[in-house]
Amino acid sequence: MTTTHMRRVAAIAGIMGALAWLMARGLPPPDPAVLPAGADGGFAEAVAPRAFVFPRDHGPHPEFRQEWWYVTGNLDGAGGERFGFELTFFRFALAPPAGADGASAADDEEHPAKSLWRTRQVYMAHFAITDVGARRFRYAQKLARGALGLAGAAGAPLRVWIDDWTLAAPGGAGGDWKLAAAQPGYALELGLQPLTPPVLNGEAGLSCKSDVPGSASYYYSVPHIAVHGTLSRQGKPLAVAGLAWLDREWGSGGLGPGEAGWDWFALQLDDGTELMFYALRARDGSRDPHSAGTWVESSGAAHGLASAAVGIEVTARWTSADGVQYPAGWRIRVPSLALDVAVHPVLADQELKTTPRYFEGAVDVRGTRAGRALGGRGYVELVGYAR
């Protein structure tokens, strides 16, 4: 099981949230077995490393079951205000591509006149703002089918969108990217300038997170993106600038048994280096050995980190108003890098009460590397705590 998987679960659950509109009137009782692995064939699978080609691979891979574009970042306002933001797009295919398997593809049915609403692709997006000064965390969710231009993803040039929430690279890979999203009270428009080329995580971009064949995903990051733009608060525009992180992942695998969730860290340190690490949690609370990470030097050179290379100690806990307990402070040590940092959320409550609920929050980093003081910022994602 992987972050991909869990995020995919999130996507499914989100869709179901939408269906809950209908089903609130009472579908059969919840089924704990959410997603049997390899439920249906017909999807492409991430089984071997592939040649990544950019900008093509920034675009969608509809032959895989699920995929996401995940932008998080920390922003500073012109007047010293501090913000965090998350804008994530999920693509989820409900059936394999037509002709791949045929058995379950609705596309194959003959229609005298086919509705443009027909699609097997659905999209979900989350937009969250952490307004540190106001001690306020706000999030919104959108769900739409990939039809009629309501939502979709295009590769050349990159554009992923639901309604007016967009992540796009209008000028091609070389130029600035743009993102835009709005929710009650907050609207964000940013230009994104990748300062490093994409970093391939795992084995040359193939991220194996369990022993189950085909459960892997393709996973790359753009860990160092300069952003600048406008954040409107209650309609009042404010110039903002900062640093963002893009995570891209796609695959078709299913959930492994015995997994409870994960803690994901993306830390951007002041010396221009980045640390990404995901700690997969087994149901008994222990760390799954498939946990892994990537260390990116300021030059852009990347090195994989095995599970044993990273020590994480929880130093604080936070309990949501309705009793879900999350870790809320960590001491992370990477002996091989002589790195020892403390990580703290900038705001305790950065939980998205979507389906499923998860924590996605801006964090501060304080510590040392090789004995020298080091600061930084980042994002932490905590999944699987709310049951």
Per CB under 8 A, which of residues 205..234 are in contact with other proteins? 232, 234
Q: Does residue 155 bind other proteins (CB under 8 A)?
A: no
Nearest to 74 by CA among 348, 351, 345, 283: 345
Q: Does residue 106 bind other proteins (CB under 8 A)?
A: yes
Q: Does residue 366 bind other proteins (CB under 8 A)?
A: no
Nearer to other proteins, 163 or 270 (CB): 163
Q: What are phi and psi of 212, to 5 degrees?
A: -70, 125
CB hemisphere CA count around 184 (13 angstroms)? 4
Q: Does residue 260 bind other proteins (CB under 8 A)?
A: no
Per CB under 8 A, which of residues 73..92 are in contact with other proteins? none
Query: Cβ of residue 345: shortest distance to other proteins, in angstroms?
Result: 25
Listed ranges 26-34, 53-61, 206-214, 310-318: which one lies at the site for other proteins (CB under 8 A): 26-34
Q: Does residue 4 bind other proteins (CB under 8 A)?
A: no
Instruction: List Cβ neighbours of 24 (8 Å cut-off, separation of 6 or more).
Output: none
Q: Does residue 119 bind other proteins (CB under 8 A)?
A: yes
Asked if 177 and 194 count as a contact pair (C-beta separation under 8 A), the reply is: yes
Q: Does residue 38 bind other proteins (CB under 8 A)?
A: no
Q: Does residue 98 bind other proteins (CB under 8 A)?
A: no
Nearer to other proteins, 141 or 201 (CB): 141
Nearer to other proteins, 148 or 306 (CB): 148
Q: Does residue 321 bind other proteins (CB under 8 A)?
A: no
Q: Does residue 149 bind other proteins (CB under 8 A)?
A: yes
Residue from 150, 173, 212, 282 in contact with other proteins (CB under 8 A): 150
Q: Does residue 299 bind other proteins (CB under 8 A)?
A: no
Q: Does residue 156 bind other proteins (CB under 8 A)?
A: no
Residues belonging to the chain: 387
Residue from 48, 113, 321, 370 in contact with other proteins (CB under 8 A): 113
Residue from 6, 46, 75, 122 in contact with other proteins (CB under 8 A): 122
- Tokens 């260390």 map to which residue? 295
Q: What are phi and psi of 351, to 5 degrees?
A: -95, 135
Mask of contacts with other proteins, 336-355, x by CB under 8 A? Answer: -------------------x
Residue from 235, 285, 323, 371 in contact with other proteins (CB under 8 A): 235
Q: What are phi and psi of 232, to 5 degrees?
A: -95, 125
Q: Does residue 117 bind other proteins (CB under 8 A)?
A: yes
Residue from 1, 12, 128, 267 in contact with other proteins (CB under 8 A): 12
Residue from 104, 193, 307, 320 in contact with other proteins (CB under 8 A): 104
Nearer to other proteins, 147 or 226 (CB): 147
Which residues lie near other proteins (CB under 8 A)? 12-13, 15-28, 30-32, 34-35, 39, 94-95, 104-106, 109, 111-120, 122, 142-145, 147-150, 163-164, 182-187, 232, 234-235, 355
